Amino acid sequence: MTSSYSIRSLLLLLCGLISLTTQKDVPDAFRLPPSEAVDNVNPLIGNGGDSPNGSGGMIPSASPPFAMTRWVAQTSENYVSVTPYNYTVTSIHGFQATHQPAIWMGESGQVVISPGAGQVQPKFDDRGMSFTHENEVITASYYSVNLNAIEGGQILAEQSSTSRVGHLRFTFTDTRQPYVLVEATRASVLGSSDPQNLTYPHGSVFINPDAREISGSNPERQDFIIAPVSTPAKHWSGYFCARFDQPFASWGVSKNNTLFDGQTSGNGTLLSGYATFSPEVVEVSVRIGVSFISVEQARKNLDIEIPDGNLLEDTATSTRSAWAEKLELIKIKGASKDQLQTFYTAFFHTLQYPYEQSEYGQYYSGYDDDVHQGVSYTGYSNWDTYRAEWAWLILFAPERIPGMVQSMLQDYKEGGRLPMWKNIIETNIMVSLFLFYVATHADSLIAEAVLKGMSGFDLETAWEAVYSDATVPPVNDTTTVYFDRQENVDYEVRAGLTSVYEEKGWVADDIHSESASRTLDYSYDDFAVSVLAGLLNKSEEELFFQQRSLQNPFTIFNSLTGFMEARNASGAWAGPDNGWTEGDKWAYTFDVVHDTPGLIAHKGGNATFVKFLDEHFDGGHNDHTNEPSHHIPYLYSLAGAASKSQSRIRYIAESNYNASVNGLSGNEDCGQMSAWYLFSALGFYPVNPVSGSYVVGSPFFDEVEIQFPSSNATSLKIISEGAPSKPFVNSLTINGADIPSPIISHDQLLDGGRFEFIMSSRPQAWGSSTLWSKDNTDLTNEQDKSVQYYMAYRELR
């Protein structure tokens, strides 16, 4: 299929590659250990664009998987809708330890290291140094750039990092006296609509010339205005300890952009510490430990992760090794250079969140404002990631899953609720984002983990938390609207649970925002709760939530229009455009992933459902830049039209992904955009994440070999000769056994062996027989039929 989209993608790709091919070569010392997979990571993918929705919102950080802190060159002062680095900006103002998990979330407790020469420049606008992309080296584990010093000469800045420690090296050539500024606090932007809506956090800075250290704290947390009122994290702060390898020639503190030479400590706003070095000094290295607990813990993190004597090359090698360990799990044949960069950068993106919040056996919890023992993570964007990103982590980072689940359970014990969109603490962002954790999509994550054999967390607490989410409404549920980013409210959880949902099956639009999306999301989460109940042998609860999950979606199906539609408490239809979250009636009418047969039946059977899908795509309604559309192309396969899934999937991949800085059509959203591409490239996708199965699509490459870290079996080989030019599947065999329907199980993946696709350049009949057919089915006894379809899913997994 050709269109203006494919032409646009080609132009963007060429534009991006022009800049990338003129970058400086990576020094040999930073290519160790050798790894073709890591060499194909291009951290600039998804960073282009001059608006928050004009890029993937990613940054070219040089940090290991799931790092607590990502270190990146600072071109902008970031806030909600602005990242620290953007490809369109031509000056660098420092190097930032960012904890901003996504472009639409706020920064927390960052520290900035800014080199300079001559007069110390504490103000952001004054300290920027020009550069060109031709003088950058950008990899997954090492970054460098030549900066034009303000008063003449050049500064070569290099950086790498471990999870909690940044490692930077500055080389001064023909400059005036070198210095390094350590920024503790700045003016903080609240929200995304008005950059002039500022607050001024009060931080601290301490300078110890004998130890060559500058340490301090920064309590900035931009999302505090949308945190639940019952868990304000009043004493939260980011802490840092920077240690230099050169003696200080002089030092001082900057307060409100005024320099106080010779001071060794300071508290307040717009606060920095600085050290100058002898004019004869050519090279300065600095290691910066970061903590959410204390300055002392930041110092301990520094000593543990990058002890004295370690070179920048050592740090970069360690970080590159961590990436190689993961990315080398997949080997590809039959892909172009651009496809390899797109694939391995997507893999790189999926292994960044949730990120580590604990520090060697302890962590700060903002829910009860205390330090606890255990493992903790933050940066959960579950409304996005429950769809495919979590399934990808279960496959390729299974060692992380127990800690990530246990972290959610700790949040429940300390705050009373599972997290919804956790950024240090809960933020109540987006309907489903909060939903996701309240018999919301946290329920899906936990159920999927248990279903797929993950262990190492407390199952009884998991059930208690999930059951609570599904049955206990939020405070003031009938009187609070809970619109997106609403301030001064408590946990949103299952907003609308008591208004109508429990009695009639829908969330009332005249009481709550995003009501139709909530209804469908709650229904899916109820299904996840029923799956978990079944796995834990809680048969009564399993049946209750299973029935609720299969009945409630269709309480908002308007048979007169053929679309899902919000309803008021009275039962009256609220209008086709009301009640949606980041989507519309087209996207959400397809959002019954746990009961696709039921949806097909309500649309009149397979033939009319396929026609409806055609109208969706051909009418331009599919918006792959946002998550509610991600599963939709795979629904053809569940209605006997697998070849249409295959062509739609290929088109979406080609139109929305490439190897340029503009290579993501929508926000990455903590890995979900990339997870869609990765699964689709392999040839399958988890349409219903808690089914334990995947829907087959169209593999992109001639051959892929996978070694799953959790499997002791032989590797999995996916053979699909000719796939780059042949998008259609003629047949599929698994270890020699014919697979007639477009469904494979999680166990089949982990068992390894050989998946062999016979590909074709023309549509084929394979996959036209489905596991169920509801054409011409009498819907008068829908409840009983729902149970049958649910059992079909259970048999499948």
What is the spatial distance between Cα 108 and Cα 103, in angstroms, rounded to a whole number?
Answer: 13
Residue 644 makes CB contacts below 8 A (sequence gap 6+) with 610, 613, 614, 636, 763
What is the spatial distance between Cα 38 and Cα 757, in angstroms, rounded to a whole number?
Answer: 28
Do 703 and 724 meet the contact criterion of CB atoms below 8 Å apart? no
Nearest to 512 by CA among 584, 432, 436: 432
Tell me the pLDDT band of 10, cut-offs 50, 70 and 90: very low
Q: Is pLDDT at 159 greater than 70 in this prediction?
A: yes
Q: Is pLDDT at 200 greater than 80 in this prediction?
A: yes
Nearest to 672 by CA among 496, 480, 432, 469: 432
Mean pLDDT of 582-605: 97
Q: Is pLDDT at 427 greater than 70 in this prediction?
A: no
3-state secondary structure labels for all residues of 142-193: CEEEEEECCCCCEEEEEEEECCCEEEEEEEEECCCCEEEEEECCCCEECCCC
Three-state secondary structure call for residue 423: strand
The contacts found for 485-489 with CB under 8 angstroms, 24 or more apart, are 485/191, 485/226, 485/428, 485/429, 486/226, 486/428, 487/225, 487/226, 488/229, 489/228, 489/229, 489/428
Nearest to 738 by CA among 713, 767, 714: 767
Q: Give the model confidence (pLDDT) of 106-151 as tens digits.
A: 899 999 999 999 999 999 999 999 999 999 999 999 999 999 999 9
Greater confidence (173 vs 49) lies with: 173
Tell me the pLDDT band of 237, cut-offs 50, 70 and 90: very high
Tell me the pLDDT band of 229, cut-offs 50, 70 and 90: low
| Residue 154, phi then psi, degrees to nearest 5 | -135, 155
CA dihedral over 45, 48, 49, 52, signed as positive or negative:
positive
Apex 505 CA angle, 501 and 508, nearest 5: 50
What is the spatial distance between Cα 406 and Cα 775, in angstroms, rounded to a whole number?
Answer: 44
Looking at residue 54, its pLDDT comes to 72
Apex 162 CA angle, 160 and 168, nearest 5: 30
The DSSP bridge partners found for residue 214 are 207, 242
Do 719 and 666 meet the contact criterion of CB atoms below 8 Å apart? no
Do 169 and 142 meet the contact criterion of CB atoms below 8 Å apart? no
Looking at residue 792, its pLDDT comes to 47
Q: Give the model confidence (pLDDT) of 690-699 as tens digits.
A: 999 999 999 9
Q: Mean of the per-residue pLDDT values for the chain?
A: 90
Please give the model's pTM, rounded to 2 decimal places: 0.93
Looking at residue 225, its pLDDT comes to 61
Range name among 310-314, 371-375, 401-405, 779-783 with the lowest pLDDT average: 779-783
What is the spatial distance between Cα 185 and Cα 569, in angstroms, rounded to a whole number?
Answer: 48
Q: Is pLDDT at 319 greater than 90 in this prediction?
A: yes
With a pLDDT cut of 90, the percent of the chain lying above it is 78
Q: Is pLDDT at 359 greater than 90 in this prediction?
A: yes
Mean pLDDT of 303-329: 98
Residue 15 makes CB contacts below 8 A (sequence gap 6+) with 660, 662
- The alpha helices in 228-358, defined as continuous H runs, are 295-305, 312-327, 337-350
In the 8-state DSSP scheme, what is residue 779?
Answer: -
Q: Is pLDDT at 777 greater than 50 in this prediction?
A: no
What is the spatial distance between Cα 550 and Cα 96, in angstroms, rounded to a whole number?
Answer: 48
Q: Is pLDDT at 13 greater than 90 in this prediction?
A: no
Do 158 and 143 meet the contact criterion of CB atoms below 8 Å apart? yes
Q: Amino acid identity of 284? A: V
Do 111 and 238 meet the contact criterion of CB atoms below 8 Å apart? yes
With a pLDDT cut of 70, the percent of the chain lying above it is 88
Burial class (CB in 10 A: 0-12, 13-18, 19+), 725: exposed
Helix (H) or strand (E) holding 467: helix 459-471
- Which stretch, 47-61, 730-744, 760-774, has highest mean pLDDT? 730-744
What is the spatial distance between Cα 423 and Cα 560, in angstroms, rounded to a whole number?
Answer: 42
Report how far apart, in Å, the C-alpha atoms of 633 and of each of 732, 744, 755, 759 are. 19, 17, 22, 19
- As a whole number of Å, the end-to-end CA separation of the chain is 34
Burial class (CB in 10 A: 0-12, 13-18, 19+), 19: middle
Range name among 263-272, 417-426, 443-452 with the lowest pLDDT average: 417-426
Residue 2 makes CB contacts below 8 A (sequence gap 6+) with none
Q: Is pLDDT at 530 greater than 50 in this prediction?
A: yes
Looking at residue 437, its pLDDT comes to 32
Q: Is pLDDT at 490 greater than 90 in this prediction?
A: no
Q: Is pLDDT at 243 greater than 80 in this prediction?
A: yes
Residue 51 neighbours by CB distance under 10 Å = 9
What is the spatial distance between Cα 97 and Cα 316, in angstroms, rounded to a whole number?
Answer: 16
Looking at residue 474, its pLDDT comes to 82
